[in-house]
């Protein structure tokens, strides 16, 4: 059996100071007041712990001495206890002499041999079984069984119940079938595709990973190419302008979502509107690593960006291949495709448009009637029809050579092309010969205007 001890204070201070000088501090440390505090500091020997292990008894003794109280630890002899009889607890007048014990029924046994040193301790101990001791699970204070810890005030029974409930839940989770578990992956936790921002769309909330950003850039190119192709086929450059606008908005949206993934504000995407600097920023964002955890812009991007990037790259190759195949066999459409791609290229294109702006509007009488004009064209040529409409609107007379129906007209065309130094290159219609000057390859209206003689004022 492990040796047990009791802790007794002698009723004196170590420094010789009166007990009243330390009464307030003792009451604060042990949370005692009124009659209990007076009993402890009555000036006589008092048992403050009836039964404790050697370590707990020594700890309590050292604590009492820190408060300037003279205390000692006394070993307890082993006592053989006969069958006990439970009696009601004592009244207040004959209460227990242990200050920190819970009120409980007293177990009375037959008289036994008193512990050594009890005769000279000045105390009349009750012949009761030693009280059970418990240790606070929070601060480790050893103390007789009670509800609130005398050191930290913790509700020890409830704390132990909460710990037991948590252990039971963990045990039940470990015992549950693997199908019912949802273990977190060892690496970066990724949500499903529905929880993050999608590649398609015009919303500016959420995050876009590096691979999805690359895929979105390719899809923006596909969208622009499709509208340029439509402009080349239909001859309406408005489709190319709309494609450029839509691609720009989509690109800014993708840059903003990519910035969100790095923890930066999406307003920085407006830098993309700055020449050179915007392109550099868009390129650098391909290689910047995003944040692994959720940030203020949302959860991490969904997995599967590699597959989406491959699909977007395949779409670019398919659209580009079909466009090349469609326009390589038709120089006229190829020229329109190139013109549609140059839509919105900047000041140079605007300057070219301004140069011919003054000749777009029809005006009879602007040109001399002595102009000699030959036009070489073919059926179904949109540019040929547009040129004839312009010549008619300005009151100009011309000779038409249909190279698709007249073999001599075709030979004449090749002859004047060779004479102009254009060589054997493919001929783009319409071709005009104005006052002996050959204008090959669907000349712009500015060139036609300069080749014509102006009417006398």
Provide the pLDDT for residue 342. 63
CA 181-187-256 angle, to 5 degrees, is 115
Other residues' Cβ atoms within 10 Å of the Cβ of residue 188? 11
Place of tokens 């600097």: 277
What tokens does 186 get?
């060892």
Low-confidence ranges of the chain (pLDDT < 70): 1, 77-132, 176-197, 327-365, 421-426, 457
Provide the pLDDT for residue 426. 66
Provide the pLDDT for residue 425. 53
Provide the pLDDT for residue 374. 93
20-38 burial, b at 16+ Cβ within 10 Å, e below that, comes to eebeeebbeebebeeeebe
Cβ-proximal residues to 382 (8 Å cutoff; 6+ apart), any chain: 235, 332
- C-alpha 415: how far from its chain's center? 69
What residue spans define the domains of the chain? Answer: 5-131, 198-328, 360-451
- Provide the CATH topology of domain 360-451: Glutaredoxin (3.40.30)
What tokens does 373 get?
């004009």
H or E element, residue 173:
helix 156-175
Provide the pLDDT for residue 25. 87
What is the C-alpha to C-alpha distance for residues 439 and 190, in angstroms, rounded to an integer? Answer: 63
What tokens does 151 get?
């050191």
The structure's pTM equals 0.38
């Amino acid at each position: 059996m492990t040796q047990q001890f009791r802790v007794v204070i002698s009723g004196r201070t170590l420094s010789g100071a009166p007990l009243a000088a330390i009464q307030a501090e003792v009451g604060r440390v042990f949370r005692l007041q009124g009659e209990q505090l007076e009993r402890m500091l009555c000036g006589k020997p008092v048992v403050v712990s009836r039964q404790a292990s050697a370590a707990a008894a020594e700890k309590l003794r050292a604590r009492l001495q820190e408060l300037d109280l003279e205390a000692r630890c006394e070993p307890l002899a082993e006592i053989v206890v006969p069958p006990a009889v439970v009696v009601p607890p004592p009244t207040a007048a004959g209460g227990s002499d242990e200050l920190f014990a819970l009120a409980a029924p007293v177990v009375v046994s037959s008289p036994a041999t008193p512990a050594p040193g009890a005769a000279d301790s000045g105390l009349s101990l009750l012949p009761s079984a030693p009280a059970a001791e418990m240790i606070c699970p929070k601060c480790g204070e050893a103390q007789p069984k009670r509800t609130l810890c005398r050191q930290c005030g913790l509700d020890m029974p409830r704390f132990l119940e909460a710990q037991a409930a948590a252990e039971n839940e963990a045990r039940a989770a470990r015992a549950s079938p693997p199908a019912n578990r949802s273990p977190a992956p060892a690496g970066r936790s990724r949500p499903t595709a529905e929880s993050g921002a999608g590649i398609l769309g015009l919303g500016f909330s959420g995050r876009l990973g590096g691979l999805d950003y690359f895929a979105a850039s390719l899809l923006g190119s596909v969208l622009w190419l499709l509208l340029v192709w439509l402009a080349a086929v239909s001859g309406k450059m408005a489709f190319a302008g709309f494609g450029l606008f839509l691609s720009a908005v989509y690109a800014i949206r993708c840059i903003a979502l990519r910035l969100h993934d790095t923890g930066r504000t999406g307003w920085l995407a407006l830098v993309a509107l700055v020449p050179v600097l915007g392109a550099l920023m868009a390129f650098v964002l391909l290689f910047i690593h995003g944040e692994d955890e959720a940030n203020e812009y949302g959860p991490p991007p969904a997995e599967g960006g590699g597959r989406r990037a491959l699909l977007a790259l395949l779409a670019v190759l398919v659209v580009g291949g079909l466009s090349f195949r469609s326009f390589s066999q038709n120089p006229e459409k190829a020229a329109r495709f190139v013109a549609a791609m140059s839509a919105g290229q900047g000041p140079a294109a605007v300057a070219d448009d301004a140069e011919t702006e003054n000749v777009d509007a029809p005006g009879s009488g602007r040109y001399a009637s002595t102009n000699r004009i030959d036009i070489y064209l073919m059926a179904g040529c949109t540019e040929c029809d547009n040129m004839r409409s312009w010549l008619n609107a300005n009151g100009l007379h011309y000779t038409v050579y249909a190279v698709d129906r007249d073999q001599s007209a075709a030979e004449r065309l090749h002859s004047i092309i060779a004479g102009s130094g254009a060589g054997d290159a493919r001929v783009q219609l319409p071709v005009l010969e104005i006052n002996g000057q050959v204008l090959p390859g669907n000349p712009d209206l500015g060139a036609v205007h300069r080749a014509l003689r102006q009417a006398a004022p």
